[in-house]
A and B are shown apart, each in its own frame.
Chain A
């Protein structure tokens, strides 16, 4: 424990509030941050951590309340004011200009002529690098940098401006364990220098490892500040989410498990030439939830998008088994000619088990047989979704639903109302050019009722709903089509605990109904409690698939950061 007993207050928040329309991002927040400490700002997604820090760094202006720096009441109306107060922030989404070099990014916006001089800057940057142990090539263009290099550059930028108060927003989300270690070493050095460091995070192990004190926010409100040495992870969790997280997720036992989707050798090189998916192989089975774990940006998004047909350049096989065994053939997704061809290959049988042969039959006879549901499939249909567009996948009759990470940017259209958003999936139904708004309206009404969506009416643009309600609308629509495969990327991100549970239960219900559920999550506790198997990704590769019932957080955590040996035998 620290022996110093007296510390200077560096930052004081006093009744600070910030509203975004009806959303109370921060409400009446008051607490102190001491000089020379590392303070973790802990809270779930959407608890207002970043908003609060953005007010400190001048991005947002508080609607109410006061901020004091070193005892002085200050007004931070712009990032420049923040710099003048020696406050520097490393944003989660890096604020760098891609087409500039590192050096240009460092001197960008500096008014002091001395420091803005590039050759002088080079020297000072070198001193900073030596002092804290950074490595950087100042002549590189930012678009050539790796994520961790970009972060290093951001930190150097802040230090170059001689910041005394350093704010890091989710700094470890994109880093490998080695890089995290290096970052923490740097942070410790800075603390020794007397700098005040605030880390925004929701990862408890890191909080315990690096910080002196922890301030907790929940739903935009300040809960408490505790000494790290006097607390433990379960106590912090309790403060963070409001009740003990013995995760009470009802996990049903999988039944009627059969292969539903086999992904084989899926590889995707993105527009910048980076291999975001590298030979991904796995099987998703009906009646179970397959979790996907990994550090953010390890290829989870691209994987789901590739399966959904959104990454047409992805290479590899995506084989879908359409559950048709002993089910009737229909003309819904098959043409008459296809049916006749499959029959001649002996793919069908009658109810009594005898094989179907249409030989010598007239077309109308065949049609009536099929329409009566007398012709049954022998086996599940096998379809390769490789290089198929979302539309083609749909036309094949593959019921594949996808809840994307970016709800309002991809899953829904923010400016359209609930009904029009329901239509996104179904508007093509029906002949002719006219839209049918009746069924979508019924569906929207049903979802609002069943999932308790809070909305003034069905004609409200979805962007006006709160995050949890937006997600309910999206998930509701995606499960409405009784999918055979349901993929959900971070479906509970930013949701309160009740909405989260609602989503978990919906996923489990889908599983019980025989859907193959693929769930990309970030909270390992949830993944362990909800899923049946967990696929762990690391830098675009599958680093392991484990049984969720028997594995431990440590094992998964290790897999998340251990890339497969390049040449090591499979």
Chain B
């Protein structure tokens, strides 16, 4: 036997048919822990930071004091709202990368209401301003999402690139507004006390976090109902799974796309309303704090499940605030907050990569050790062509 082509690949990859849930969760958790450890290791090697101290500071970031904990709740709940906004669009396989822009537009019109209506209306009409703020923020977010959705529905325009561009257009509009209201002196910022004195959303129980958390819980409950129990939710998951099936059962795909994205944008608008109306009383080009992107990863990690999105959102915020605290604690060696992005990026990479081990199985190819298996030696003469004859006569094997 000439074995010149013996170069069996070490392994080959096949799709897994099934994996127990606990196993997949365990794999994911393992990778998250691994990512954090690698991040700590990076800090140890490059900056000589003791990993245990860093981990301790990381927890302190969110839990050291009641104030920090409330901040953690506030940020987590905000990210959750944005995440919930994106869940339906991603479930429909509509790549809405425009969360930032939709939040920003919500925030922009909120501040515009506070500024312009605050000037017109006499004192004591804050409630009216707040209602206007809410309505216009919802509309602004929805419209900002609607534009790409319309083109996606009617011309199949690539939505991920379109929504991406809409982010920057929103930034430009915010920038222009700031220039308009802060004109004079060349300053380029919004003074909350000058511009946004009226129409501030009151704090509940003396904390910013309360209102945001309540809002996020309401939206969470709504989203669970919408996706799991409503006809709309069912339709959008059919569209996401297979547009052909949707057509087949008579779902109006265009309508579903537009309706879902309107909802998505509207909730992003609410996030903007809360940021500007209840927290910052101002708007800047970075008011969205990149949550539109962060939330994508949070919902993706949650496999588009609203419940799990709550967990992943708070986890993401926990890591980012934690890394902020690490930076503060080691400010002599860490000049900026970039280490947070690095650890976050590592976690993303690890989790993204670990999906492979959940979806696919690696089969290691054993090399045959038994030489007898390679029976054919020398180029063989085949048996005469007539040879198969008797077999042909034999009845085919019956199998039951």
Residues of A within 8 A of B (CB): 2, 4-9, 12, 14, 20-22, 32, 34, 61, 63, 66, 68, 70-75, 77, 213, 216, 218-219, 221, 223-227, 230-231, 235, 238-239, 242-243, 308-310, 389-394, 402, 404, 406, 409-416, 420, 423-425, 427-428, 433-435, 464
Contacts and interface: CB of A to CB of B under 8 A. Distances in A.
B249 A425 contact: yes
Choose among B3, B7, B17, B235 the residue with the greatest number of A CB atoms under 10 Å from its CB: B17
Interface stretch (B126-134, B170-178, B269-277, B377-385): B377-385
A235 B252 CA distance: 51
Given A223-B396, A393-B250, A413-B241, 10 more contacts: A21-B15, A21-B17, A34-B385, A71-B2, A224-B392, A226-B388, A242-B399, A416-B237, A425-B249, A435-B231
Given A394-B250, A424-B238, A434-B231, A226 B376 contact: no
Contact of A224 (B14, B17, B391): B391
Task: Determine chain A's interface SS by DSSP, over half rule.
Answer: mixed
Contact of A227 (B234, B373, B375, B385): B385
Nearest to B228: A435
B222 to A, nearest CB: 12
Contact of B384 (A5, A406, A413): A5
Contacts of A70: 379
A390 B247 contact: yes
Nearest to A81: B5
A73 B382 contact: no
A71 B380 contact: yes
B363 A63 contact: yes
B380 A9 contact: yes
Among B379, B381, B382, the most chain A Cβ lie within 10 Å of the Cβ of: B382
Interface of B: 1-9, 12, 14-18, 229-235, 237-238, 241-242, 244-245, 247-252, 363, 368, 373-376, 378-382, 384-386, 388-389, 391-392, 394-399
Contacts of B231: 427-428, 433-435
B248 A77 contact: no
A402 B248 contact: yes
B250 A73 contact: no
A22 B15 CA distance: 11
A224 B379 CA distance: 23
A420 B234 contact: yes
Nearest to A34: B382
> Which residue, of B233, B247, B381, has the highest number of chain A Cβ atoms within 10 A?
B247
13 contacts: A9-B380, A20-B14, A66-B374, A70-B379, A73-B374, A75-B6, A221-B399, A243-B398, A389-B252, A410-B244, A413-B242, A427-B234, A435-B234
A437 to B, nearest CB: 8
Given A61-B12, A389-B250, A413-B242, A5 B385 contact: yes
Contacts of A12: 376
B245 A8 contact: no
| Interface of B (DSSP majority class) | loop
A120 to B, nearest CB: 29
Contact of B8 (A5, A75, A213, A414): A75
A242 B398 contact: yes
Q: Which 4 residue pairs spanning A and B have beta carbons closest together?
A: A21-B17, A390-B250, A391-B250, A226-B392
Given A309-B250, A389-B250, A73 B1 contact: yes
A467 B71 CA distance: 53
A309 B238 CA distance: 18
A22 B247 contact: no
B379 A75 contact: no
Contacts of B15: 20-21
Given A4-B385, A9-B382, A411 B399 contact: no
A225 B386 CA distance: 12
A185 to B, nearest CB: 23
A531 to B, nearest CB: 24
A224 B394 contact: yes
Contacts of B235: 427
Contacts of A216: 396
Contacts of B229: 434-435
A410 B245 contact: yes
A310 B378 contact: no
Contacts of A390: 247-250
A8 B382 contact: yes
A130 to B, nearest CB: 32
B245 A413 contact: yes
A396 B382 CA distance: 68
B388 A6 contact: no
Nearest to A212: B385
A72 B389 contact: no
A2 B244 CA distance: 52
Contacts of A425: 249
Contacts of B384: 5-6
